[in-house]
Structure 1
Amino acid sequence: MPFSAPLRPLSLALLLALPTLAAQAQTTTATAEAGTLNTVTVEASADASAEGLAKPFAGGQVARGGRVGILGTQDVMETPFSSTSYTNELIQDQQARSVADVLLNDPSVRQARGFGNFQELYVVRGFPVYSDDVAYNGLYGMLPRQYIASEFFERVEVFRGANSFLNGAAPFGSGIGGAINLLPKRAPNEPLTRIGAGIQSGGQAYVNADLARRFGPDQSTGIRINAVRRDGGTGVGDEAQALSALGVGFDWRSRSVRLSADMGYQDYELREGRPSVTPSATLPIPRAPGSRTHYAQPWTYSQETDKFATVRGEVDITDNIMAWAAGGIRRSTEDNVLSNPTLNNAFGGTSNTRFSNTREDKVSTGEIGVRARFATGPVSHSMVASAATFSNDRDNAYAISAGSVRNNIYQPYDSFYPVANGAFVGNQLSDPRLTDRIKTSSVAIADTLGFFDERLLVTLGARRQTIDQKNYAYNTGALNSSYDKSRTTPVAGVVFRATPQLSVYASYIEALVKGNVAPTTANNLPVTNGGEIFAPYRSRQKEVGLKWDGGSFGASAAFFTTAQPQFYVLNQTYGENGEQRNRGLELSVYGEPLKGLRLLGGLTLLDAQQRRTQGGLTDGRDVIGVPSQQLNIGADWDVPGVRGLALNARLLHTAKQYANAANTLEVPAWTRFDLGARYLMDIGNGRVLTLRARIDNLFDKNYWASVGGTQGSNYLMMGSPRTFSLSGSVDF
């Protein structure tokens, strides 16, 4: 794909917008200088809320709070849950390119992939969160499915734990271990014109632009435009990426009304992506190949194009009553040719088929709500009620090859492009048809009661959720199976401010997950109940914790227990085959304990066990792909005596993981080091140049980074090789 072609519409939009933005900014400045109007200070607000974004914590890497579902933006010390909001300052300083790059900082999160594809998948507290279920400004299903460029978001908010009351049931079937919400960018109070460029290992290069202005005599209207183009290799053999993305955000506010809107476009292609590897059931886990070894076939690729738009508004009915509404749509297309190898001997030999598929998604969602604050005697109340709806129609088609694709993970070679097997073709690749339809709707109500001058906060609430699923047969379009029922998920939480610096909390909350759909094939053979929809299921979570705010340094500890049913194929039949029970302890630190030294990280200890397995054969064994320890620790240091220079380092450690239910296949633990530096300089005329350099996987560690991700699966994903990144940006 030529570099210049996808860039032309992005460049044109920027060139057309820049003169207008600059002229408006000059007019606004001149008016203000004339003294004819008093400028209203506008807080950057990603969700059209009166509160705006939560303030950064000391050090600027995380925020003091974030969105807690329908409860709105809250200070982290006042919520009975565990969460972290990573700021745009951290995203820029680490040259993060996607959500996965940002979440490398979180000790409760590890990255994996979807089953047999290149979809980003995040494992939170040992449970998967699909990229489909990442929320955008509080709305599910709005973002690209496989890869989300960092240019689209201001912050990454990680909520740890079950959350169906707060956010509604995740529509694509994950979210038991947590939720991820991305906040879009808004125009700051000061004009912003930032142009950047960078390169990384493998020959990949990028250019981007970030432009923002506020308009009007009171600066009430804002616009922000972000555009990026990336293209080139990744450092893994012949693997290459191409990305074009454009995001536009608007906001407007008066004294009692706040509005915001976002539009986005992303075209992403991964060429010859290094696939996951399924181990042999009878052989030990093989040593990881060299970090740059490329065992993908030259004819494999994955491409996705997405267009989305959202809108959100708030109105103050009275000083104590506020109503809101939000909605969005997304249209996306995917085209993939994949071949994920399975090991068949001790020397790295593999075999597999070619799997091709096309997909189209039509997503729409909406939400309305009202929030009121009042008091009954000495007790304060913050009540909220909301209603939400979601709809997704998925058109799909697939074809599986007749011949086997041979390869070797240590000495790779190209294999022929096999033709499709007529017995394993679903619909037409050129014309995918409706195969799945899901609609959800819910109503929720909650009250947070404050006692003793709000030193004691008690939250009680419930959400009534309806899930309507339909699955249609490939080729015929006949209705395979359906489900349409409702469940109620409650929440109860208490926070006690023992001192101004220390909070103690406890909570009970549930997750509601849509019923799994049995796959049509497994192990290249038909599944006996393919297409069957299973009933939604609930997961119950209990949690207690401590939070400490030392002003410049913060820390938290949380102990939790969560369980969910296990679904996977057994004897070519898909069904519920046991339960996964995760218990864990999370320890986190963040802030700036010493002037010029910023720390961020923590330790997660997990005990993930199988229970109620068939015949009790693997009861008490570890769950596939869930390590017992995850450690992340990062430091960012301003070098004394050299103004504008800062160095940063990060250590990631993941304990061993098991790749089968019997725990006889063990994937070794791994440790990785990352280093970075940045330098800011004034280059005159009000322009600031920022240079950043980074080395990820400093010692070029060869390792299997994760096992599985999709429940019951044990595929292995290689860690990235040592990667050098260099970027520069100029603020005008």
Structure 2
Amino acid sequence: MPVRRYRSPFPICLLGVSLLPLTAVAQSADSVSSDSSNNLETVTVTGQSAATKTETPFVETPQSISTISQDEITEQGSRTVEEAARYTAGVFTNQYGATSTRYDALVLRGFTSGSIDNTYLDGLKLLNDEGTYSILQIDPYFLENIQVVKGPSSVLYGRASPGGLVALTSKRPLFTPYHQIQVSGGTQGYRSTGFDFSNQLGDSGRVAYRLVGKAMGSDSQFDRIQNERYTLAPSLTIDMTDDTSLTLMAYLQREPEGGYYGGVPADGALHDHAGRKISNSFYDGEPDYEEFNRRQTMLGYELTHRFNDVWSARQNFRYVNAATDYGQVYFSQWLNDREFSRAYFGADEKLDAYAVDNQLQANFSTGTLDHTVLMGLDYQHRQVKSKQSYGSFPALDAFDPSYGADGTIDPYADVNRKLEQTGVYLQDQIALDRWRFTLGGRQDWVDIDNRDTLNDTHNTGDDTQFSGRAGVLYLFDNGVAPYLSYSESFNPNSNTDENGDLLEPTEGKQYEAGLKYQPPGTEDQYSIAVFHIAQENVANYIQDIQSYRAVGKVRSRGIELEARHHFTDQFRVQASYTYTDVEYEKSDAGYEGNTVNSVPKNMASVWGNYAFDSGPLRGLDVGAGVRYNGESYVDEANTDKVSDYTLVDAALHYDLGELGLTGVEARLNINNLLDKDYVASCYSAARCYFGAERSAIATLSYQF
């Protein structure tokens, strides 16, 4: 008798994408992120671009890229990576609404699959596991910048979502003194304290350290739910010679309380159920059984060596160990006008993983052609052990809840999941006068081994995949740069068919045309990109056989516009518009011709900041932003829609140095200023997510 496989109502973890840059080891004190907005500039990445793994300027890269600096993160009061990307073209950050505190889910170019597992840190994949709760998260306070690279990037990174990647760069040691402490407090009981210290060690000028820490706690929008987190990130840079540098890094994080990840049905959230709607603070679980305790440890290094003016080498390595204890009681189905049945799912998990990326780069010329050749060999190993349980709980009144019930919980699965990926890649960036050509290819070998000892099932799979990439760009003297590009992606599938065999990997192909413009001598940047992505072997769940088949095909096409403009030295604006049309072109599950749910077709945003530099308001910065998300579908069957919504954010910053308190700054950030009550998105008709209510956080910092 076949084992019935339970389909969790929660999109636990999806599949992801590519990597990120190494940044310059030594930085000047002027480049350090601080709370001062007066000197905030459009970011210029001084290290490697995530799109090329080499030092390639924005205007010379034939691919759509957006960069978010630490100053922008601070200015907008972003508490998660997801929040930091709210004003970025091509990115939908409200897939899980107010529950998005424990994971960062960024939908890139309409691909919801991979929205959690598309993040990279310091050039290496975070190694989240699709299908379990072993998903890592990085606090943006510990980051120097965030790059969002749109479109397939398997040539440099192997298994990846066709939508793109989110590349995080950690703060690095500085060789000049930098010390900052800060305290924050706000609505929902929010409180935090952080510090950021860096300087050189000794008098040699070759060793520097950085120690960043933060403690945070808060209540939440949802009744009886809290957040608590403690993080420490030490790093050490050793310039062993003028040509060789080693940076050691660690990221240690403990979260005794990890918020909430539940949703409510469309019938009650979007529309009245028996004449009433569910409150946006409603909690459908049981406090005694609610658990999310995550502990993550990451240890790694970056080693760089320059052999001569032509050859240089880099090696990135990181080891990851994490443990997650998860438990949640959640909505199952309506029983009557007021009550619904509830189920339980829990997991105790251990993640053990490591990744290494070896790069050899050559810069040389052949006649009139200038080459930047990158050769690489990378390897990833990930293993997750997950003991899972499933159960049922007594019904709950959605409009007058009473908690304290006990349920029946039984073992569900004892899973051991392993994944290995080995890849070799080659890329040549060619400059011919004003022309820029990018050519790349990669060969990957992926092995998957999934075993469930409780249910006596064992699935293995291996895949060999080639990925290609090509791009051409012309750089005019005035800073205008039109480009064309083609790129590919592949993504191993963790779902199984009716025979218990792993499905074939999904494959993606993208054609992109764009125009970039950066006026010479300015920090202004403008871009427009038009793209078409086709993803094949998409896994559809077939109800008749209660299993998956790789018979789907998804097409995503659209246009993205983004601008960063300085009207004056005091007033700057960033704006974006996104049109994304994502459709099932083939589906044996009956979705052919339908639009993919959780993806707004239209999104737009604008953020502006004005810094007073004279008069009685000198030292004051005022910021404001508007975000628009168009309507989206509730489910794959397109039975209903989530209404569009517009949100307003605001920020105030004041340099108390104008009052004689040198180094002291105050900031106030307000999200959803008008306190709009809305549904952010729906994963299905049974699971919709309320948007975040108004929040205000005041921060006082001291730099010395």
1:272 deviates by 6.1
Offset at residue 188 of structure 1 (A): 3.0
Partner of 2:109: 125
Aligned match for 1:495, one of 473, 477, 491:
473
Equivalent in the alignment of 1:651? 626
- Following TM superposition, by how much is the alpha carbon of 1:94 offset from its aligned partner in structure 2, in angstroms? 2.2
In 2: Cα distance, 1:50 partner to 1:118 partner: 30
Does the 8 A contact of 2:127 with 2:382 survive in 1?
no
SS of corresponding position for 1:441:
strand
Unaligned residue ranges in structure 2 (runs of 5+) = 1-19, 129-133
Partner of 2:88: 106
User: What is the alpha-carbon distance in structure 2 between the residues aligned to residue 693 and residue 50 of structure 1?
Assistant: 32
Instruction: Give the CA deviation at 1:73.
Output: 2.9
> Which of 596, 607, 612 is the matching residue for 1:623?
596
Q: CA deviation at 1:456?
A: 0.3
Q: What residue number does 1:585 align with?
A: 559
Q: In the alignment, what sits opposite 2:489?
A: 511
1:348/1:646 Cα in 2 relative to 1: closer, same or farther (>3 Å)?
farther
Equivalent residue, structure 2, for 1:136: 121
Larger deviation, residues 501-510 vs 631-640:
631-640
Alignment of 1:175-190 (within 5 A): 175-190=161-176
Q: 2:693 corresponds to which residue?
A: 721
Compared with structure 1, are the counterparts of its residues 714 and 223 closer, same or farther at alpha carbon in structure 2 (3 Å cutoff)? farther
Residue 573 of structure 1 corresponds to 547
Q: 1:635 to 1:684 in 2, by over 3 A?
A: closer
Secondary structure at 2:197's aligned position in 1?
Answer: strand
Q: Deviations over 1:602-648 (max 9, x none)?
A: 01001111111228x44322111111101121111113631211011
Quick check: 1:596 aligned with 2:570? yes
Aligned-residue offset at 1:69: 4.8
The equivalences for 1:9-48 within 5 A come to 47=22
Name 1:613's counterpart in structure 2. 587
Aligned-pair CA distance for 1:238? 2.6
Which residue number in structure 1 is paired with residue 526 of structure 2? Answer: 555
Alignment of 1:326-725 (within 5 A): 326-344=316-334, 349-408=339-398, 410-414=399-403, 416-421=405-410, 425-427=412-414, 435-452=416-433, 455-475=434-454, 480-518=458-496, 532-550=501-519, 551-565=522-536, 566-571=538-543, 572-614=546-588, 617-639=590-612, 641=615, 642-682=617-657, 687-708=662-683, 715-725=687-697
Across the aligned residues of Structure 1 and Structure 2, the Cα RMSD in angstroms comes to 3.0
> Are the counterparts in 1 of residues 182 and 701 from structure 2 also a CA contact under 8 Å?
yes
- Report the CA distance between 1:315 and its aligned residue: 0.7
Q: Deviations over 1:361-413 (max 9, x none)?
A: 001111111110111111111111000000001100111114454341x5444
Q: Is the 8 A contact 1:244 1:267 kept in 2?
A: yes
Amino acid at match of 2:638: N
Gap regions ≥5 residues in structure 1:
1-44, 428-433, 519-526
**Cα 1:656–1:468 shift into 2, 3 Å:** same
Distance 1:514 1:116, change over 3 A: farther
Take 2:101 and 2:202, find their aligned partners in 1: how far apart are those partners?
48
* Aligned counterpart, 1:230: 216
What's the offset of the Cα at 1:237? 2.9
8 Å CA contact 2:331–2:342 kept in 1: the answer is yes
CA contact (8 A) 2:654 2:665 kept: yes
What residue is the counterpart of 1:257 in the other structure?
A: 244
Amino acid at match of 1:436: R
- C-alpha contact (below 8 Å) 1:403/1:418 kept by paired residues: yes
Relative to structure 1, the CA distance from residue 81 to residue 185 in structure 2 (aligned partners, 3 Å threshold; closer, same or farther) is same
Distance 1:117 1:419 in 2: 28
Q: Please report the TM-score for the alignment, with normalisation by the length of structure 2.
A: 0.87
CA contact (8 A) 2:542 2:588 kept: no
Aligned mates of 1:48, 1:109 — CA distance in 2: 24
Checking the alignment, whether the CA contact within 8 Å between 2:533 and 2:556 is kept in structure 1 is yes
Quote how far apart the aligned CAs of 1:289 are: 4.2
Alignment of 1:198-277 (within 5 A): 198-253=184-239, 254-270=241-257, 273=260, 275-277=262-264
SS in structure 2 of the partner of residue 706 of structure 1: strand
Contact kept in structure 1, 2:21 and 2:49, CA below 8 Å: no
Is the counterpart of residue 148 in structure 1 residue 134 in structure 2?
no
SS in 1 for 2:77: coil
CA distance in 1 between counterparts of 2:413 and 2:501 reads 16
Question: What is the CA deviation profile of residues 563-607 of structure 1, one whole-angstrom value per residue up to 9, with x for unaligned ones?
Answer: 224324221212224221110100001142222112123010011
> Do the aligned residues in 1 keep the contact of 2:249 with 2:299 (CA within 8 Å)?
yes
* Alignment-mate amino acid for residue 606 of structure 2: I
Deviations 1:186-214 (A, max 9, x none): 13343111111011211121111111112
Provide closer, same or farther for how the CA distance between residues 705 and 612 of structure 1 changes in structure 2, counting only shifts above 3 A: same
- C-alpha displacement at 1:216, in angstroms? 4.2
Deviation at 1:78, TM superposition (A): 0.7
What SS does the corresponding residue of 1:594 show, helix, strand or coil?
Answer: coil
Q: 2:131 corresponds to which residue?
A: none
Mapped partners of 2:233, 2:364: distance in 1 = 39
Whichever residue aligns with residue 65 of structure 2, its letter is: S
Check the 8 A contact 2:92/2:599 in 1, yes or no.
Answer: no
Is the 8 Å Cα contact of residues 555 and 589 (structure 1) preserved in structure 2? yes
Give how far 1:528 is off. 5.5
Contact 1:493 1:508 in 2 (8 A): yes
Superposed displacement of residue 271, structure 1:
5.8
C-alpha distance 534-46 of structure 1, shift in aligned 2 (>3 A)? closer
Q: Distance in 2 between matches of 1:47 and 1:403?
A: 49
Match of 2:287, SS state, is coil
- Once residues 258 and 404 of structure 2 are traced to their aligned partners in structure 1, the CA distance between those partners, rounded to angstroms, is 16
SS of equivalent to 1:499: coil
Distance in 2, Cα, partners of 1:311 & 1:80: 30
Hey, what's the Cα distance between the residues in 1 that align with 2:44 and 2:421? 32
Q: Cα 1:71–1:416, aligned 2, differ >3 Å: closer, same or farther?
A: same
- Structure 1 vs Structure 2: percent identity of aligned residues? 19
C-alpha distance in structure 1 between counterparts of 2:481 and 2:494, whole Å: 38
SS in 1 for 2:260: coil
**Distance in 2 (alpha carbons) for counterparts of 1:215 and 1:685:** 31
Q: Is the CA contact (8 Å cut-off) linking 1:288 and 1:718 kept in structure 2? A: no
* Amino acid aligned to 2:572: R
From the superposition, tell whether residues 176 and 378 of structure 1 become closer, same or farther in structure 2 (CA, over 3 Å): same
Residues 221-256 of structure 1: CA deviation (Å, up to 9, x unaligned) = 211101111112134333210000000122122321
